[in-house]
Structure 1
Protein backbone atom coordinates (compact mmCIF):
# COMPACT_ATOMS: atom_id res chain seq x y z
CA UNK A 1 0.00 0.00 0.00
CA UNK A 2 1.30 3.45 -0.89
CA UNK A 3 1.67 5.62 2.18
CA UNK A 4 -0.38 8.83 2.00
CA UNK A 5 1.71 11.86 2.83
CA UNK A 6 -0.64 12.74 5.69
CA UNK A 7 -0.22 9.51 7.68
CA UNK A 8 1.53 10.24 10.98
CA UNK A 9 2.61 8.46 14.11
CA UNK A 10 -0.50 9.92 15.77
CA UNK A 11 -2.72 8.29 13.13
CA UNK A 12 -1.21 4.88 13.84
CA UNK A 13 -1.64 5.36 17.58
CA UNK A 14 -5.30 6.34 17.15
CA UNK A 15 -6.10 3.34 14.94
CA UNK A 16 -4.29 0.90 17.25
CA UNK A 17 -5.76 2.43 20.39
CA UNK A 18 -2.38 2.95 22.04
CA UNK A 19 -0.11 5.87 22.96
CA UNK A 20 2.31 7.56 20.57
CA UNK A 21 5.15 6.29 22.74
CA UNK A 22 4.00 2.70 22.29
CA UNK A 23 3.90 3.10 18.51
CA UNK A 24 7.40 4.60 18.65
CA UNK A 25 8.62 1.65 20.69
CA UNK A 26 7.21 -0.80 18.14
CA UNK A 27 8.71 1.09 15.19
CA UNK A 28 12.11 1.08 16.91
CA UNK A 29 11.79 -2.60 17.77
CA UNK A 30 12.07 -2.14 21.53
CA UNK A 31 11.70 -5.48 23.27
CA UNK A 32 9.48 -4.49 26.17
CA UNK A 33 6.18 -4.37 24.31
CA UNK A 34 3.49 -7.03 24.76
CA UNK A 35 3.20 -9.30 21.72
CA UNK A 36 -0.54 -8.58 21.42
CA UNK A 37 0.11 -4.82 21.51
CA UNK A 38 2.95 -5.13 19.01
CA UNK A 39 0.68 -7.07 16.65
CA UNK A 40 -2.10 -4.48 16.95
CA UNK A 41 0.31 -1.63 16.21
CA UNK A 42 1.89 -3.49 13.29
CA UNK A 43 -1.55 -4.16 11.85
CA UNK A 44 -2.35 -0.43 12.02
CA UNK A 45 0.99 0.38 10.36
CA UNK A 46 0.27 -2.07 7.56
CA UNK A 47 -3.30 -0.87 7.04
CA UNK A 48 -2.27 2.78 6.89
CA UNK A 49 0.90 2.16 4.90
CA UNK A 50 2.86 4.12 7.47
CA UNK A 51 6.60 4.66 6.94
CA UNK A 52 8.49 6.27 9.85
CA UNK A 53 9.21 9.92 9.14
CA UNK A 54 12.81 9.40 10.15
CA UNK A 55 13.38 6.92 7.33
CA UNK A 56 11.58 9.02 4.74
CA UNK A 57 13.35 12.13 5.97
CA UNK A 58 16.82 10.57 5.66
CA UNK A 59 16.10 9.29 2.17
CA UNK A 60 14.66 12.57 0.95
CA UNK A 61 16.85 15.11 2.71
CA UNK A 62 19.89 13.42 4.15
CA UNK A 63 18.87 14.49 7.65
CA UNK A 64 19.68 12.31 10.63
CA UNK A 65 16.30 12.41 12.37
CA UNK A 66 18.01 13.31 15.64
CA UNK A 67 17.89 16.43 17.79
CA UNK A 68 19.89 17.32 20.90
CA UNK A 69 18.81 18.83 24.20
CA UNK A 70 21.74 20.43 26.05
CA UNK A 71 20.94 21.13 29.70
CA UNK A 72 22.91 22.04 32.81
CA UNK A 73 22.15 19.10 35.13
CA UNK A 74 20.29 15.93 34.21
CA UNK A 75 20.08 14.95 37.90
CA UNK A 76 18.06 18.08 38.74
CA UNK A 77 14.39 17.04 38.89
CA UNK A 78 13.18 20.00 36.84
CA UNK A 79 15.52 19.23 33.96
CA UNK A 80 14.84 15.49 34.19
CA UNK A 81 11.11 16.17 33.91
CA UNK A 82 11.67 18.65 31.09
CA UNK A 83 13.85 16.15 29.21
CA UNK A 84 11.09 13.54 29.50
CA UNK A 85 8.61 15.97 27.94
CA UNK A 86 11.06 16.85 25.14
CA UNK A 87 11.58 13.13 24.49
CA UNK A 88 7.84 12.52 24.22
CA UNK A 89 7.39 15.50 21.90
CA UNK A 90 10.27 14.34 19.71
CA UNK A 91 8.81 10.82 19.56
CA UNK A 92 5.58 12.27 18.24
CA UNK A 93 7.44 13.54 15.18
CA UNK A 94 9.71 10.50 14.82
CA UNK A 95 12.83 12.26 16.05
CA UNK A 96 15.39 10.64 18.30
CA UNK A 97 16.69 12.67 21.23
CA UNK A 98 20.30 13.09 22.32
CA UNK A 99 20.78 14.48 25.85
CA UNK A 100 23.91 16.51 26.55
CA UNK A 101 24.82 17.70 30.04
CA UNK A 102 26.94 20.83 30.26
CA UNK A 103 27.16 21.02 34.09
CA UNK A 104 27.29 24.80 33.76
CA UNK A 105 30.76 24.53 32.25
CA UNK A 106 31.90 27.34 29.98
CA UNK A 107 33.87 24.96 27.78
CA UNK A 108 31.02 22.46 27.49
CA UNK A 109 28.54 25.19 26.59
CA UNK A 110 30.92 26.49 23.94
CA UNK A 111 31.45 22.96 22.61
CA UNK A 112 27.69 22.43 22.31
CA UNK A 113 27.35 25.56 20.19
CA UNK A 114 30.46 24.93 18.13
CA UNK A 115 28.82 21.72 16.97
CA UNK A 116 30.64 18.86 18.63
CA UNK A 117 27.68 16.77 17.44
CA UNK A 118 27.92 18.20 13.92
CA UNK A 119 26.60 15.68 11.42
CA UNK A 120 24.68 13.77 14.10
CA UNK A 121 21.82 16.18 14.79
CA UNK A 122 19.36 18.24 12.78
CA UNK A 123 18.57 20.73 15.55
CA UNK A 124 19.54 21.81 19.06
CA UNK A 125 17.55 22.88 22.12
CA UNK A 126 19.92 24.54 24.58
CA UNK A 127 19.57 26.00 28.07
CA UNK A 128 22.76 27.95 28.78
CA UNK A 129 23.78 29.08 32.25
CA UNK A 130 27.15 30.73 31.58
CA UNK A 131 27.32 32.04 28.03
CA UNK A 132 25.80 35.45 27.34
CA UNK A 133 24.09 36.59 24.15
CA UNK A 134 27.30 37.82 22.53
CA UNK A 135 29.09 34.52 23.18
CA UNK A 136 26.13 32.50 21.93
CA UNK A 137 26.18 34.51 18.70
CA UNK A 138 29.95 34.07 18.39
CA UNK A 139 30.09 30.32 18.95
CA UNK A 140 26.88 29.09 17.38
CA UNK A 141 27.20 27.14 14.17
CA UNK A 142 24.70 26.54 11.40
CA UNK A 143 22.59 23.94 13.24
CA UNK A 144 19.04 25.21 13.90
CA UNK A 145 18.88 26.38 17.51
CA UNK A 146 16.27 27.31 20.11
CA UNK A 147 17.30 28.63 23.53
CA UNK A 148 15.54 28.04 26.84
CA UNK A 149 16.00 29.83 30.12
CA UNK A 150 16.67 33.31 31.36
CA UNK A 151 19.89 34.28 29.59
CA UNK A 152 19.05 36.81 26.90
CA UNK A 153 19.25 35.44 23.37
CA UNK A 154 21.02 37.18 20.50
CA UNK A 155 18.65 38.79 17.99
CA UNK A 156 19.18 35.96 15.50
CA UNK A 157 18.15 33.10 17.80
CA UNK A 158 14.71 31.86 18.93
CA UNK A 159 14.11 31.88 22.68
CA UNK A 160 11.39 30.45 24.95
CA UNK A 161 11.08 31.20 28.67
CA UNK A 162 8.78 31.91 31.61
CA UNK A 163 8.42 35.47 32.93
CA UNK A 164 10.52 34.91 36.05
CA UNK A 165 10.04 38.44 37.35
CA UNK A 166 6.25 38.20 37.20
CA UNK A 167 6.26 34.73 38.76
CA UNK A 168 8.52 35.78 41.66
CA UNK A 169 6.30 38.80 42.22
CA UNK A 170 3.24 36.52 42.39
CA UNK A 171 4.94 34.19 44.88
CA UNK A 172 5.99 37.08 47.12
CA UNK A 173 2.59 38.78 47.00
CA UNK A 174 0.94 35.50 47.93
CA UNK A 175 2.94 35.43 51.16
CA UNK A 176 2.36 39.10 51.90
CA UNK A 177 -1.36 38.90 51.25
CA UNK A 178 -1.63 35.94 53.62
CA UNK A 179 -0.36 38.15 56.46
CA UNK A 180 3.38 37.55 56.35
CA UNK A 181 5.33 40.69 57.23
CA UNK A 182 9.00 39.67 56.91
CA UNK A 183 9.42 37.76 53.66
CA UNK A 184 12.89 36.51 52.82
CA UNK A 185 14.39 35.34 49.52
CA UNK A 186 16.52 32.18 49.52
CA UNK A 187 18.95 31.93 46.67
CA UNK A 188 20.76 35.24 46.54
CA UNK A 189 24.03 34.55 44.81
CA UNK A 190 27.36 36.29 44.81
CA UNK A 191 27.45 35.51 41.07
CA UNK A 192 25.63 38.57 39.75
CA UNK A 193 25.75 37.15 36.23
CA UNK A 194 23.30 34.38 37.20
CA UNK A 195 20.38 35.63 35.14
CA UNK A 196 17.70 33.48 36.79
CA UNK A 197 18.55 34.64 40.31
CA UNK A 198 18.67 38.25 39.20
CA UNK A 199 15.23 38.11 37.57
CA UNK A 200 13.60 36.31 40.49
CA UNK A 201 15.11 38.69 43.01
CA UNK A 202 13.79 41.54 40.88
CA UNK A 203 10.25 40.18 41.11
CA UNK A 204 10.62 39.62 44.85
CA UNK A 205 11.80 43.19 45.43
CA UNK A 206 9.08 44.59 43.18
CA UNK A 207 6.38 42.86 45.26
CA UNK A 208 7.82 44.14 48.54
CA UNK A 209 7.88 47.69 47.20
CA UNK A 210 4.39 47.43 45.75
CA UNK A 211 2.99 46.10 49.02
CA UNK A 212 4.92 48.54 51.18
CA UNK A 213 6.43 45.58 53.03
CA UNK A 214 9.51 45.47 55.24
CA UNK A 215 12.77 45.28 53.27
CA UNK A 216 16.21 44.44 54.56
CA UNK A 217 19.30 42.99 52.92
CA UNK A 218 19.46 40.47 55.77
CA UNK A 219 16.34 38.90 54.25
CA UNK A 220 18.36 38.00 51.14
CA UNK A 221 19.68 34.62 52.23
CA UNK A 222 22.70 33.58 50.16
CA UNK A 223 23.48 30.04 49.06
CA UNK A 224 27.00 28.90 48.20
CA UNK A 225 25.55 26.65 45.51
CA UNK A 226 22.11 25.51 44.41
CA UNK A 227 20.39 22.43 45.82
CA UNK A 228 18.67 21.13 48.94
CA UNK A 229 21.82 20.62 51.04
CA UNK A 230 23.09 24.13 50.44
CA UNK A 231 19.63 25.56 51.11
CA UNK A 232 19.34 23.71 54.40
CA UNK A 233 22.73 25.00 55.54
CA UNK A 234 21.96 28.56 54.40
CA UNK A 235 18.66 28.73 56.30
CA UNK A 236 20.19 27.29 59.49
CA UNK A 237 23.02 29.84 59.25
CA UNK A 238 20.56 32.70 58.77
CA UNK A 239 18.43 31.66 61.75
CA UNK A 240 21.48 31.21 63.97
CA UNK A 241 22.66 34.69 62.88
CA UNK A 242 19.38 36.14 64.16
CA UNK A 243 17.60 36.74 60.86
CA UNK A 244 13.85 36.79 61.50
CA UNK A 245 11.37 35.95 58.75
CA UNK A 246 7.88 34.51 58.52
CA UNK A 247 7.79 33.96 54.77
CA UNK A 248 10.34 32.48 52.39
CA UNK A 249 10.48 32.60 48.59
CA UNK A 250 12.91 29.92 47.41
CA UNK A 251 14.93 29.76 44.21
CA UNK A 252 13.47 26.36 43.34
CA UNK A 253 11.67 23.39 44.87
CA UNK A 254 14.87 21.64 45.93
CA UNK A 255 15.89 24.78 47.81
CA UNK A 256 12.45 24.90 49.41
CA UNK A 257 12.69 21.27 50.51
CA UNK A 258 16.09 21.95 52.09
CA UNK A 259 14.70 25.08 53.74
CA UNK A 260 11.76 23.16 55.21
CA UNK A 261 14.15 20.66 56.75
CA UNK A 262 16.20 23.51 58.24
CA UNK A 263 13.07 25.10 59.68
CA UNK A 264 12.08 21.81 61.30
CA UNK A 265 15.59 21.40 62.73
CA UNK A 266 15.40 24.83 64.34
CA UNK A 267 11.92 24.34 65.80
CA UNK A 268 9.94 26.35 63.23
CA UNK A 269 6.61 24.97 62.04
CA UNK A 270 5.60 25.30 58.39
CA UNK A 271 3.29 27.09 57.69
CA UNK A 272 2.39 28.36 61.17
CA UNK A 273 5.72 30.06 61.80
CA UNK A 274 7.06 30.37 58.27
CA UNK A 275 5.27 30.10 54.92
CA UNK A 276 7.42 28.59 52.17
CA UNK A 277 7.07 28.91 48.38
CA UNK A 278 9.14 26.89 45.93
CA UNK A 279 9.58 27.01 42.17
CA UNK A 280 9.18 24.44 39.34
CA UNK A 281 6.44 22.16 40.79
CA UNK A 282 8.59 19.07 40.49
CA UNK A 283 6.83 15.80 41.26
CA UNK A 284 8.14 15.52 44.82
CA UNK A 285 6.62 18.91 45.72
CA UNK A 286 3.32 17.08 46.16
CA UNK A 287 4.81 14.65 48.68
CA UNK A 288 6.54 16.95 51.17
CA UNK A 289 4.87 17.40 54.54
CA UNK A 290 3.17 19.79 54.28
CA UNK A 291 2.79 19.89 50.51
CA UNK A 292 4.85 22.60 48.89
CA UNK A 293 3.28 25.75 47.49
CA UNK A 294 5.18 26.47 44.30
CA UNK A 295 5.38 28.27 40.98
CA UNK A 296 4.38 25.86 38.24
CA UNK A 297 5.83 26.81 34.84
CA UNK A 298 3.75 25.49 31.97
CA UNK A 299 6.39 22.94 31.03
CA UNK A 300 4.20 21.25 28.43
CA UNK A 301 3.58 24.55 26.63
CA UNK A 302 7.27 25.42 26.88
CA UNK A 303 8.23 22.15 25.19
CA UNK A 304 5.52 22.39 22.51
CA UNK A 305 6.51 25.97 21.67
CA UNK A 306 10.20 25.12 21.59
CA UNK A 307 9.76 22.10 19.35
CA UNK A 308 7.45 23.98 16.99
CA UNK A 309 10.03 26.74 16.59
CA UNK A 310 12.84 24.23 16.13
CA UNK A 311 10.95 22.27 13.47
CA UNK A 312 10.21 25.48 11.60
CA UNK A 313 13.91 26.35 11.59
CA UNK A 314 14.88 22.82 10.54
CA UNK A 315 12.39 23.13 7.68
CA UNK A 316 14.17 26.26 6.45
CA UNK A 317 12.35 29.14 8.14
CA UNK A 318 14.48 32.28 8.18
CA UNK A 319 14.12 35.70 9.75
CA UNK A 320 15.10 37.26 13.07
CA UNK A 321 14.98 35.38 16.33
CA UNK A 322 11.61 35.06 18.02
CA UNK A 323 11.02 35.47 21.76
CA UNK A 324 8.03 33.71 23.31
CA UNK A 325 6.83 33.57 26.90
CA UNK A 326 4.86 30.66 28.31
CA UNK A 327 2.59 30.86 31.31
CA UNK A 328 2.86 29.84 34.93
CA UNK A 329 0.55 29.16 37.86
CA UNK A 330 0.94 29.57 41.60
CA UNK A 331 -0.02 26.19 43.06
CA UNK A 332 -1.08 26.66 46.69
CA UNK A 333 -0.49 23.75 49.04
CA UNK A 334 0.02 23.29 52.74
CA UNK A 335 3.35 25.09 53.08
CA UNK A 336 1.54 28.45 52.96
CA UNK A 337 -2.02 27.48 53.94
CA UNK A 338 -2.55 28.36 57.61
Structure 2
Protein backbone atom coordinates (compact mmCIF):
# COMPACT_ATOMS: atom_id res chain seq x y z
CA UNK A 1 0.00 0.00 0.00
CA UNK A 2 2.90 2.35 0.75
CA UNK A 3 3.90 2.06 -2.91
CA UNK A 4 0.79 1.10 -4.91
CA UNK A 5 -1.63 3.55 -3.28
CA UNK A 6 0.85 6.37 -2.79
CA UNK A 7 -0.33 9.47 -4.71
CA UNK A 8 3.27 10.40 -5.47
CA UNK A 9 4.15 7.09 -7.06
CA UNK A 10 1.12 6.56 -9.27
CA UNK A 11 1.07 10.21 -10.37
CA UNK A 12 4.78 10.56 -11.07
CA UNK A 13 5.23 6.98 -12.26
CA UNK A 14 2.56 7.31 -14.95
CA UNK A 15 3.58 10.60 -16.50
CA UNK A 16 6.09 9.18 -18.94
CA UNK A 17 9.33 8.64 -16.99
CA UNK A 18 10.98 5.35 -16.10
CA UNK A 19 11.22 5.74 -12.32
CA UNK A 20 9.13 2.62 -11.48
CA UNK A 21 11.37 0.55 -13.76
CA UNK A 22 14.49 1.88 -12.04
CA UNK A 23 12.94 1.21 -8.62
CA UNK A 24 12.06 -2.36 -9.63
CA UNK A 25 15.64 -2.92 -10.79
CA UNK A 26 17.06 -1.68 -7.48
CA UNK A 27 14.77 -3.99 -5.53
CA UNK A 28 15.80 -6.89 -7.77
CA UNK A 29 19.48 -6.11 -7.13
CA UNK A 30 18.83 -6.43 -3.38
CA UNK A 31 17.12 -9.79 -3.96
CA UNK A 32 20.02 -10.98 -6.12
CA UNK A 33 22.58 -10.05 -3.48
CA UNK A 34 20.61 -11.77 -0.73
CA UNK A 35 20.44 -14.94 -2.84
CA UNK A 36 24.12 -14.78 -3.81
CA UNK A 37 23.34 -14.21 -7.50
CA UNK A 38 26.43 -12.06 -7.84
CA UNK A 39 26.72 -11.87 -11.64
CA UNK A 40 23.06 -11.04 -12.07
CA UNK A 41 23.27 -8.34 -9.41
CA UNK A 42 26.33 -6.85 -11.13
CA UNK A 43 24.65 -6.89 -14.55
CA UNK A 44 21.54 -5.14 -13.30
CA UNK A 45 23.56 -2.65 -11.28
CA UNK A 46 25.63 -1.62 -14.29
CA UNK A 47 22.43 -1.18 -16.28
CA UNK A 48 20.56 0.82 -13.64
CA UNK A 49 23.46 3.25 -13.14
CA UNK A 50 23.49 3.77 -16.89
CA UNK A 51 19.75 4.54 -16.91
CA UNK A 52 19.82 6.76 -13.80
CA UNK A 53 23.10 8.01 -12.39
CA UNK A 54 21.90 8.34 -8.77
CA UNK A 55 22.18 4.58 -7.89
CA UNK A 56 25.96 5.08 -8.01
CA UNK A 57 25.60 5.96 -4.31
CA UNK A 58 24.80 2.30 -3.61
CA UNK A 59 28.18 1.07 -4.89
CA UNK A 60 30.05 1.42 -1.59
CA UNK A 61 27.50 -0.38 0.64
CA UNK A 62 27.27 -3.20 -1.91
CA UNK A 63 31.06 -3.56 -1.91
CA UNK A 64 31.12 -3.50 1.91
CA UNK A 65 28.39 -6.12 2.26
CA UNK A 66 30.30 -8.48 -0.07
CA UNK A 67 32.58 -9.18 2.87
CA UNK A 68 34.45 -12.51 3.08
CA UNK A 69 32.85 -13.09 6.48
CA UNK A 70 29.48 -13.07 4.71
CA UNK A 71 30.48 -14.78 1.46
CA UNK A 72 33.05 -17.57 1.35
CA UNK A 73 33.87 -20.15 -1.33
CA UNK A 74 31.65 -23.20 -1.05
CA UNK A 75 29.43 -21.61 1.60
CA UNK A 76 26.06 -20.05 0.95
CA UNK A 77 25.60 -16.72 2.74
CA UNK A 78 23.43 -17.18 5.80
CA UNK A 79 20.56 -14.73 6.07
CA UNK A 80 19.63 -13.44 9.49
CA UNK A 81 16.34 -14.87 10.77
CA UNK A 82 14.00 -12.04 9.82
CA UNK A 83 11.37 -13.20 12.30
CA UNK A 84 13.74 -12.22 15.11
CA UNK A 85 14.74 -8.83 13.70
CA UNK A 86 11.74 -7.07 15.15
CA UNK A 87 12.40 -8.22 18.69
CA UNK A 88 16.17 -8.06 18.74
CA UNK A 89 18.66 -5.64 17.29
CA UNK A 90 22.13 -7.08 16.88
CA UNK A 91 23.60 -3.70 16.29
CA UNK A 92 27.23 -3.68 15.40
CA UNK A 93 27.58 -7.45 15.08
CA UNK A 94 28.89 -7.23 11.54
CA UNK A 95 31.89 -5.11 12.37
CA UNK A 96 35.21 -6.87 12.64
CA UNK A 97 37.30 -6.57 15.74
CA UNK A 98 40.87 -6.03 14.66
CA UNK A 99 43.32 -7.25 17.29
CA UNK A 100 47.07 -7.14 16.70
CA UNK A 101 49.05 -7.63 13.52
CA UNK A 102 47.19 -10.81 12.60
CA UNK A 103 43.88 -8.97 12.68
CA UNK A 104 45.26 -6.11 10.60
CA UNK A 105 46.64 -8.55 8.04
CA UNK A 106 43.27 -10.30 7.75
CA UNK A 107 41.51 -6.95 7.41
CA UNK A 108 43.82 -5.77 4.63
CA UNK A 109 43.59 -9.11 2.84
CA UNK A 110 39.79 -8.93 2.94
CA UNK A 111 39.57 -5.60 1.11
CA UNK A 112 40.18 -7.06 -2.34
CA UNK A 113 38.23 -10.29 -2.68
CA UNK A 114 37.20 -12.04 -5.86
CA UNK A 115 33.51 -11.30 -5.24
CA UNK A 116 34.16 -7.59 -4.90
CA UNK A 117 36.42 -7.62 -7.95
CA UNK A 118 33.88 -9.58 -10.01
CA UNK A 119 31.05 -7.27 -9.02
CA UNK A 120 33.11 -4.16 -9.78
CA UNK A 121 34.47 -5.45 -13.10
CA UNK A 122 31.13 -6.79 -14.39
CA UNK A 123 28.99 -3.83 -13.34
CA UNK A 124 31.64 -1.35 -14.51
CA UNK A 125 31.96 -3.13 -17.85
CA UNK A 126 28.19 -3.06 -18.42
CA UNK A 127 28.07 0.64 -17.57
CA UNK A 128 31.00 1.62 -19.80
CA UNK A 129 29.85 -0.57 -22.71
CA UNK A 130 26.36 0.95 -22.70
CA UNK A 131 27.75 4.45 -22.21
CA UNK A 132 30.26 3.86 -25.02
CA UNK A 133 27.51 2.73 -27.39
CA UNK A 134 25.43 5.81 -26.62
CA UNK A 135 28.50 8.00 -27.06
CA UNK A 136 29.13 6.35 -30.43
CA UNK A 137 25.61 7.15 -31.64
CA UNK A 138 25.03 10.53 -29.97
CA UNK A 139 28.49 11.97 -29.29
CA UNK A 140 29.44 14.48 -26.61
CA UNK A 141 25.87 15.71 -26.25
CA UNK A 142 24.99 12.42 -24.59
CA UNK A 143 27.88 12.60 -22.11
CA UNK A 144 27.10 16.20 -21.23
CA UNK A 145 23.36 15.67 -20.76
CA UNK A 146 23.43 12.22 -19.14
CA UNK A 147 26.54 12.34 -16.93
CA UNK A 148 28.74 15.44 -16.82
CA UNK A 149 25.78 17.79 -16.52
CA UNK A 150 24.89 16.41 -13.08
CA UNK A 151 28.31 17.25 -11.62
CA UNK A 152 28.03 20.97 -12.29
CA UNK A 153 24.26 21.38 -12.60
CA UNK A 154 22.82 24.76 -11.57
CA UNK A 155 19.07 25.25 -11.88
CA UNK A 156 17.80 28.83 -11.40
CA UNK A 157 14.17 27.71 -11.32
CA UNK A 158 12.59 27.35 -7.90
CA UNK A 159 12.64 23.86 -6.42
CA UNK A 160 12.66 22.22 -2.99
CA UNK A 161 16.45 22.58 -2.58
CA UNK A 162 17.90 25.17 -0.21
CA UNK A 163 20.43 26.07 -2.92
CA UNK A 164 17.91 27.34 -5.45
CA UNK A 165 17.74 30.95 -4.21
CA UNK A 166 21.52 31.40 -4.16
CA UNK A 167 21.72 29.95 -7.67
CA UNK A 168 18.88 32.22 -8.79
CA UNK A 169 20.61 35.36 -7.46
CA UNK A 170 24.00 34.52 -8.96
CA UNK A 171 22.98 32.68 -12.11
CA UNK A 172 24.26 35.42 -14.41
CA UNK A 173 27.65 35.13 -12.73
CA UNK A 174 29.32 31.98 -13.97
CA UNK A 175 30.06 29.60 -11.10
CA UNK A 176 33.51 28.05 -11.11
CA UNK A 177 33.75 24.28 -11.34
CA UNK A 178 35.24 24.28 -7.83
CA UNK A 179 32.22 26.12 -6.41
CA UNK A 180 29.87 23.70 -8.12
CA UNK A 181 31.72 20.70 -6.74
CA UNK A 182 31.98 22.14 -3.20
CA UNK A 183 28.19 22.10 -2.98
CA UNK A 184 28.45 18.29 -3.03
CA UNK A 185 30.56 18.27 0.15
CA UNK A 186 27.72 18.11 2.76
CA UNK A 187 25.99 15.46 0.68
CA UNK A 188 29.20 13.47 0.35
CA UNK A 189 29.98 13.57 4.09
CA UNK A 190 26.47 12.48 5.06
CA UNK A 191 26.62 9.61 2.56
CA UNK A 192 29.90 8.32 3.97
CA UNK A 193 28.62 8.43 7.55
CA UNK A 194 25.44 6.53 6.66
CA UNK A 195 27.24 3.95 4.54
CA UNK A 196 29.87 3.04 7.13
CA UNK A 197 27.23 2.93 9.87
CA UNK A 198 24.47 0.92 8.17
CA UNK A 199 26.00 -0.83 5.15
CA UNK A 200 25.42 -4.37 6.42
CA UNK A 201 21.69 -3.71 6.87
CA UNK A 202 21.54 -3.21 3.12
CA UNK A 203 17.85 -2.31 2.47
CA UNK A 204 17.88 0.18 5.33
CA UNK A 205 21.19 1.63 4.18
CA UNK A 206 19.80 2.14 0.67
CA UNK A 207 16.77 3.91 2.13
CA UNK A 208 18.58 6.34 4.43
CA UNK A 209 21.17 7.02 1.73
CA UNK A 210 18.48 7.93 -0.76
CA UNK A 211 16.55 10.16 1.64
CA UNK A 212 19.73 12.02 2.59
CA UNK A 213 20.88 12.25 -1.03
CA UNK A 214 17.60 13.84 -2.07
CA UNK A 215 17.37 16.15 0.95
CA UNK A 216 20.87 17.60 0.45
CA UNK A 217 20.82 17.68 -3.35
CA UNK A 218 21.32 20.90 -5.29
CA UNK A 219 18.06 20.30 -7.16
CA UNK A 220 15.01 18.57 -5.65
CA UNK A 221 11.76 17.83 -7.44
CA UNK A 222 8.82 15.62 -6.44
CA UNK A 223 10.07 13.00 -8.89
CA UNK A 224 12.99 12.28 -6.57
CA UNK A 225 10.69 11.19 -3.74
CA UNK A 226 9.80 8.06 -5.71
CA UNK A 227 13.40 6.90 -5.33
CA UNK A 228 13.02 6.20 -1.61
CA UNK A 229 9.30 5.37 -1.55
CA UNK A 230 10.08 2.05 -3.25
CA UNK A 231 12.40 1.14 -0.36
CA UNK A 232 10.00 2.18 2.39
CA UNK A 233 8.03 -1.12 2.44
CA UNK A 234 11.30 -2.96 3.14
CA UNK A 235 12.06 -1.07 6.35
CA UNK A 236 8.63 -0.39 7.87
CA UNK A 237 8.28 -3.89 9.40
CA UNK A 238 11.48 -3.28 11.39
CA UNK A 239 10.52 0.16 12.69
CA UNK A 240 9.45 0.67 16.29
CA UNK A 241 7.54 3.84 15.45
CA UNK A 242 3.85 3.63 16.23
CA UNK A 243 1.67 4.94 13.41
CA UNK A 244 -0.63 6.58 15.95
CA UNK A 245 2.08 8.77 17.41
CA UNK A 246 5.63 9.05 16.10
CA UNK A 247 4.89 7.64 12.66
CA UNK A 248 1.85 9.84 12.14
CA UNK A 249 3.74 12.88 13.43
CA UNK A 250 6.55 12.27 10.92
CA UNK A 251 4.07 11.88 8.06
CA UNK A 252 2.25 15.09 8.93
CA UNK A 253 5.51 17.00 9.45
CA UNK A 254 6.92 15.91 6.07
CA UNK A 255 3.67 16.52 4.19
CA UNK A 256 3.06 19.80 6.03
CA UNK A 257 6.51 21.18 5.20
CA UNK A 258 6.04 20.18 1.58
CA UNK A 259 2.55 21.72 1.38
CA UNK A 260 3.87 24.90 2.98
CA UNK A 261 6.57 25.10 0.28
CA UNK A 262 4.02 24.43 -2.48
CA UNK A 263 1.83 27.28 -1.24
CA UNK A 264 4.65 29.82 -1.73
CA UNK A 265 5.62 28.19 -5.03
CA UNK A 266 2.03 28.61 -6.24
CA UNK A 267 2.04 32.31 -5.31
CA UNK A 268 5.33 32.79 -7.17
CA UNK A 269 4.59 30.74 -10.26
CA UNK A 270 0.89 31.35 -10.86
CA UNK A 271 0.21 34.63 -9.06
CA UNK A 272 3.46 36.39 -9.89
CA UNK A 273 4.11 37.39 -6.28
CA UNK A 274 7.64 38.28 -5.16
CA UNK A 275 7.91 35.64 -2.46
CA UNK A 276 11.41 34.33 -3.12
CA UNK A 277 12.54 34.89 0.47
CA UNK A 278 9.49 33.10 1.87
CA UNK A 279 10.00 30.26 -0.62
CA UNK A 280 13.64 29.90 0.36
CA UNK A 281 12.70 29.82 4.05
CA UNK A 282 10.15 27.14 3.20
CA UNK A 283 12.99 25.17 1.58
CA UNK A 284 14.98 25.46 4.82
CA UNK A 285 11.97 24.20 6.74
CA UNK A 286 11.58 21.30 4.32
CA UNK A 287 15.24 20.33 4.80
CA UNK A 288 14.78 20.50 8.57
CA UNK A 289 11.70 18.29 8.38
CA UNK A 290 13.53 15.76 6.20
CA UNK A 291 16.41 15.70 8.68
CA UNK A 292 14.09 15.28 11.66
CA UNK A 293 12.13 12.47 10.02
CA UNK A 294 15.33 10.70 8.93
CA UNK A 295 16.81 10.88 12.44
CA UNK A 296 13.59 9.48 13.93
CA UNK A 297 13.54 6.64 11.41
CA UNK A 298 17.14 5.76 12.27
CA UNK A 299 16.57 5.94 16.03
CA UNK A 300 13.49 3.71 15.85
CA UNK A 301 14.87 1.12 13.42
CA UNK A 302 15.58 -2.40 14.70
CA UNK A 303 18.95 -2.57 13.00
CA UNK A 304 20.73 -5.80 12.25
CA UNK A 305 22.84 -7.09 9.34
CA UNK A 306 21.22 -8.94 6.46
CA UNK A 307 23.75 -11.77 6.68
CA UNK A 308 25.03 -13.81 9.60
CA UNK A 309 28.78 -13.93 10.01
CA UNK A 310 30.52 -17.06 8.76
CA UNK A 311 33.58 -18.49 10.42
CA UNK A 312 36.85 -17.26 8.98
CA UNK A 313 39.45 -20.00 8.79
CA UNK A 314 43.12 -19.06 9.00
CA UNK A 315 46.00 -21.56 8.88
CA UNK A 316 45.39 -24.09 11.67
CA UNK A 317 42.75 -22.24 13.64
CA UNK A 318 39.34 -20.78 13.14
CA UNK A 319 38.58 -17.22 14.10
CA UNK A 320 35.10 -15.79 14.45
CA UNK A 321 34.47 -12.05 14.44
CA UNK A 322 31.57 -10.76 16.47
Q: Give me the TM-score of the superposition, normalised by structure 2.
A: 0.21
- Which structure has greater helix proportion? 2
Structure richer in strand, relative to its length: 1
Higher relative contact order (CA 8 A, sep 6+): 2
